[in-house]
A and B are shown apart, each in its own frame.
Chain A
Amino acid sequence: MTEAFRDRIDIALTVNGEAVEGRVPAGRHLIDFLRLDLGLTGSHASCEHGVCGACTIHVDGQAVRGCLMLAAQADGAEVWTLEGLTETGVIRDLQDAFVERNALQCGYCTPGMLASIKELLDMGGVPDRATIREHLSGNYCRCTGYEAIIDAVESVAKARAGEAAA
């Protein structure tokens, strides 16, 4: 680590709807800022090189990798993690479907998986199974074999479409 990386940067952002300020090392990844500085351990670090998707969170409305973004880059951003998405209830139906369908086993990929699925469901409509599978192919799960996750997403998409039509 060079001297340049030891420099600290002041940031101000909103996380889960709350205003947050911090003074972070320039090299601090957003996922580490959330976990270590804010105690938001619902987001998980896994591959730490942007492949597995376990650290996926929402930044300014988009699903992004918390391990590929620096905390300094989140200055002024609106960040949502699983804790906040849970409190607001926006993915309650999806969480319930995950439990009912056993779409998680060890649960380590689940926070990132839910963040990616939220992005897909927010697009509206009922994606077919191949589309769901394609959308989730940036999120690794070593436990479930994926099928239960696809089932859960499909059921929620259908339920939401049904409600929208009603």
Chain B
Amino acid sequence: MTISFGNPDRPNSYIGKTVPRPNAPRLVQGRGKYVDDIVLPRMAHVVFVRSPHAHAKIGAIDTAEAAAVKGVLRIFTGADIAEVCTPWVAVLAHLKGLKSPPQHALAVDRACWVGDPVVAVVATSRAAAEEAAALVEVDYAPLPAVTDMMSALDADTPVLHPDMGDNLAFRRLHEEGDVEAAFASAHKVVEARFKTARHTGVTLEPRSILVDWNPAEGQMTAWHATQAPHMMQTVFAKHLDLPEGRVRVICDDVGGSYGIKVHVYPDEVATAAIAKIMARPIKFVADRLESFTTDIHARDHEIGARIAVDETGKILAMDIDDWTAIGAYSVYPRTSAIEGNQVVNLCGGPYDFAHYRAQTSVVFQNKTPTCQYRAVGHPIAVAVTEGLVDMAAAELGMDPVEIRRRNMYADDAYPVTSPAKMRFEGLSHHASMDKLMALMDYEGLRAEQAELRKKGIHRGIGIASFIELTNPSPFMYGIGGARISAQDGCTVRMDPDGSIVALSGVTEQGQGTEAMLAQIVAEGVGVAPGRVRVITGDTQVTPYGGGTWASRGAGIGGEAALQSALALKGSILEVAGAMLQAPADALDIRDGQVVDTATGEARMPLEELGRIVYFRGDTLPKGLPRELVQTRHFITSDYPFAFTNGVQASYLEVDTGTGEVKLLKHWCVEDCGRIINPQLVDEQIRGGIVQGLGGALFEEIHYDEDGQLLNGSMADYLVPMAAEMPDMVIGHVETPTMESTLGAKGAGEAGTAGAPAAVMNAINDALRPLGAQVTAMPFTPERILRAMGQIED
């Protein structure tokens, strides 16, 4: 069965429409169910004693005073937890050479960053557990801390994990063509050094988990704020020695994820281990300082980069030397080498050029581990690429839009393989750029900028083209040995009243998964979206799937939903054909009614068909299939990833006296293939842009040279607030992927991918007449004033 997406008047045309989210009314009425809202009988609370040192040997642990606090039930050391919980090693076979030492749920012998969990205190209330945790005495012997990225591999730098031999976790060099020759013969070579700061996600709901172990049933149940319930099921089973089928992970409402909640955290696994030991429900909810010291960090890259161009602005070569420091461990099970690897894969992404060299060096440090956070690697690769392209344009005296038009892959060039060996099925860089130019009135804005500059007002326009990796196949994790599902499944059934239930392995993190699935299923079956109830986030109930990451929900989970819905429609029509004495292919389902396809005449409501199938099956022909439940799974197979593309623009004003940047407006035109729900896509992009703007202007985790985290509060780690953010204009080009009937690619990370580069280029566009340039994010007033030479100490 196919759907004529081109015809907006087709029956049941819900795909492509803005349909409200079924879960939104609950959330605006205070009826959400987040982990911390759940209270179970005999529930106890765990609080962790964490290392105050970046690196220290753990000596004697004295818990006597803590144990005397009223309400305290048990206190666990790393050795206690290690008896029931095996350590993990976060490597992937396809990331050759990646190494990381075994990591325990609670540190044993040695703590490796400020925040590393060392002791767990369990009490009847969180207040009692916190009080007792403050009384636990740990005898630490501080060890030298590795805290500087660029000297991590120097001979006189201590080796963080002696068993690993050195501080290099991973290195990958990719070379294509003859880079040295291209640079040697180039008309112009531009070189720059870029820096992206250490970020963290700052989910408003802190990491939260509630685990119950019922030995009488042999069943573990975890209510978990996660993006990957099935992955967590596997992890708990494996490390706590339980059969996978006896672990159930439930994910109700989650208060912000952005990649933060897709990883395995030692304190969460320790919580599950404690539940197993104590055979009662144990709740852990991180406080805000714990969020800053133990939620994964990300970015933290330094990149030396150069670009070679000819007289016409054609890009000849790019050469990238990326460094990143991942903290003390590679994070399980996705590993911490992915972001550096992505920088290698994505630099130069939009452009048709031949000679490319990129290396990433991933080093250990005594800081919070880094791992995948929204748009993994993209903001770095896009900033480096687009920064270099703008600098080359300036060197040539060429307009930044023109140099991009001369280098972007032609819209009819696909399929193509990039110099980084990424395969693009179909992108629309030129159509997207054309649309952006029209949306923003580029020429008009340039004229306004020039006019204002005469008055001493320094405005800048920044453009950033980008590609985004979505719909990952097993090439992302599975081939490396991780039990992380790239396929996803959906079960769709019709109940006796004609209502439809859809069970999906992708999860709802607030992005609108349940609305997207409801409208796909509604169209696939032929009912109104309100007749579809979507259930996600329960490993005991939904088909096995990967959850939410790498912008896969709509493209992978959506296609599984469409195929299962179409299969259910086929089953329903087979029964209807028998009941109505009509060939099944002469019938259709529209708005909950079986109708004649040709005339649209109503023949039978679905509730009547349901009544017959479920209660009067005796009246149907013997042997007639009557399975009103269908399951389909989907996995991509032609391409490792479905790349999307887009282009963003920032318009801003730099106050040359204070160094402050005022964002005036932001545009994004992007191509996520088939759009299922325009409003949800636009809001994903807006939200993503603002996270990118945070990285560009505000967000930076600070450590001192001893590895002490200096800004572990929301007052000190700045994130975007409403007053500082601009209105954003979003436009689309649609190039559906041919891998699926639905044709959807991902949309959740495009905003974050391109926004920092657009802002950087806009600031530099404003500063260029003043001879200043910034390349180290975030672009704080101080950094801008330093670039202008107004601060020199």
Contacts and interface: CB of A to CB of B under 8 A. Distances in A.
A105 B714 CA distance: 20
B774 to A, nearest CB: 23
B722 A133 contact: yes
Interface string A69-102: 0000000000001110010000000010011101
Q: Which of B31, B511, B714, B715 has its CB near the most chain A CB atoms (within 10 A)?
A: B714
A41 B30 contact: yes
B25 A99 contact: yes
A111 interface: yes
Interface in B14-57: 20-21, 23-34, 36-37
Interface residues of B, number: 58
Contact of B721 (A137, A147, A150): A137
Contacts of A106: 203-205, 253-257, 509-510
Interface string A110-122: 1100100000000
Interface string B627-651: 0000000000000000000000000
A95 B36 CA distance: 23
Contact of A149 (B256, B688, B722): B722
A110 B510 CA distance: 12
B756 interface: no
Contact of B127 (A1, A107, A146, A148): A1
A109 B204 contact: yes
Contacts of B424: none
A51 B723 contact: no
B715 A107 contact: no
A102 B29 contact: no
A27 to B, nearest CB: 7
A108 B127 contact: no
A21 to B, nearest CB: 21
A107 B31 CA distance: 10
B595 to A, nearest CB: 31
Interface string B677-706: 001100100111111000000000000000
A99 B21 contact: yes
B687 to A, nearest CB: 5
B204 A42 contact: no
Contacts of A105: 509-512, 683, 687
A106 B409 CA distance: 37
A141 B714 CA distance: 12
A147 B26 CA distance: 21
Given A1-B127, A48-B288, A41 B202 contact: no
Nearest to A146: B722
B258 interface: yes
A134 interface: yes
Interface in B720-735: 720-725, 727-728
A51 B687 contact: no
A83 B28 CA distance: 10
B686 A47 contact: no
A140 B204 contact: yes
Interface in A129-153: 129-130, 132-134, 136-150
A34 B724 CA distance: 32
Contact of A145 (B24, B127, B511, B686): B686
A54 interface: yes
B723 A133 contact: yes
A156 B517 CA distance: 29
A100 B683 CA distance: 12
Contacts of B20: 99-100, 102
A143 B288 contact: no
Interface in B262-287: 287
A43 interface: yes
A46 B287 CA distance: 8
A157 interface: no
Given A82-B30, A95-B29, A25 B127 contact: yes
B570 interface: no
Given A145-B687, A147-B727, A44 B714 contact: no
Contact of B21 (A48, A51, A102): A102
Contacts of B34: 41, 44, 108
A148 B715 contact: no
A49 interface: yes
B725 A142 contact: no
A126 interface: no
A52 interface: yes
A58 B100 CA distance: 50
Contacts of B751: 145
A78 B34 CA distance: 26
A45 B285 CA distance: 11
Contact of B719 (A44, A133, A138, A140): A140
B327 interface: no
A5 to B, nearest CB: 9
Given A44-B255, A106-B255, A142 B30 contact: no
B204 A102 contact: no
B28 A95 contact: yes
B714 A142 contact: no
Contact of B686 (A83, A107, A109, A144): A144
A157 to B, nearest CB: 15
A15 interface: no
B723 A134 contact: yes
B27 A1 contact: no
A30 interface: no
Contacts of B24: 98-99, 102, 104, 107
Contacts of B27: 104, 107, 110
Contact of B725 (A25, A108, A133): A133
Contacts of A111: 30
B201 interface: yes
B722 A150 contact: yes
Contact of A49 (B255, B689, B715, B720): B715
A27 B125 CA distance: 14
Interface string B172-202: 0000000000000000000000000000011
B29 A108 contact: no
A126 B21 CA distance: 28
A148 to B, nearest CB: 6
B315 to A, nearest CB: 32
Contacts of A95: 25, 28-29
Contacts of B719: 140, 142
A137 B29 CA distance: 22
B206 interface: yes
A102 B131 contact: no
B713 interface: yes
Contact of B683 (A41, A144, A150): A144
A52 B204 contact: yes
Contacts of B687: 105, 142-145
A38 to B, nearest CB: 12
A45 to B, nearest CB: 8
A70 B182 CA distance: 68
Contact of B28 (A40, A51, A98, A134): A98
Given A41-B33, A44-B34, A107-B23, 17 more contacts: A42-B31, A44-B255, A46-B204, A102-B679, A106-B255, A129-B727, A137-B721, A137-B723, A138-B721, A139-B722, A140-B721, A141-B204, A142-B202, A142-B203, A142-B256, A145-B683, A145-B686
27 contacts: A25-B127, A46-B206, A46-B288, A47-B288, A48-B287, A54-B204, A86-B29, A98-B28, A99-B20, A99-B21, A102-B679, A104-B24, A104-B28, A105-B512, A105-B687, A106-B256, A107-B255, A132-B722, A133-B722, A133-B725, A137-B724, A141-B204, A142-B201, A146-B722, A147-B686, A149-B722, A150-B722
Please provide the 6 A-B residue pairs with the shortest distance between their CB atoms, ordered closest to farther.
Answer: A42-B30, A108-B255, A107-B27, A106-B510, A145-B690, A105-B510
